[in-house]
Amino acid sequence: MLNLLFIFFTDKVAIEGKVIQRAECRPNANDSYLKLKRLEMERSNKPKREVKQISTVVPTYRPVKDHSFNTYLKEILKEICIYNMKAPHRNMWELKPEYRHYKEQAGT
């Protein structure tokens, strides 16, 4: 048994009250309902992603702008610098002797 108060607004219905007795409802187990449930279960069991076998080569393009800047920078560095592979300045670039113009300290 339910004690309910129905409030009708323009397009919405609101129900207010308290449940006094619990009721369980089941749909009719007819063919259309069973078909609907079977389709719902098939849809939920279907994988989200599928693997497709392709017969042709798919071209992949890399953005030229980003890669060209890195190659240009390395090319310039190779012209004016020496790449150190030994400690203590491992994996660092050092100016070639002809490009070094350090100021000599006064007093030495």
pLDDT of 8:
53
CA 54 to chain centroid: 25
Rounded alpha-carbon distances, angstroms, from residue 82 to 4, 39, 98: 86, 68, 12
User: Is residue 43 situated within a structural domain?
Assistant: no
Number of domains in the chain: 1
- The Cα 15–Cα 23 span in angstroms is 17
User: Is residue 85 situated within a structural domain?
Assistant: yes
Task: Mark the ranges of the chain whose per-residue pLDDT is less than 70.
Answer: 1-13, 62-68, 103-108
Q: Give the domain range for residue 90.
A: 66-99
pTM of the model: 0.33
User: Is residue 72 situated within a structural domain?
Assistant: yes
User: Is residue 9 situated within a structural domain?
Assistant: no
User: Is residue 19 situated within a structural domain?
Assistant: no
Beta strands, E only, the chain: 2-8, 13-19, 81-84, 92-95
φ/ψ (deg, to 5) at 2: -120, 135
Q: In this predicted model, what pLDDT tens digit does every residue of 41-62 receive, in sequence order?
A: 999 999 888 888 888 888 877 6
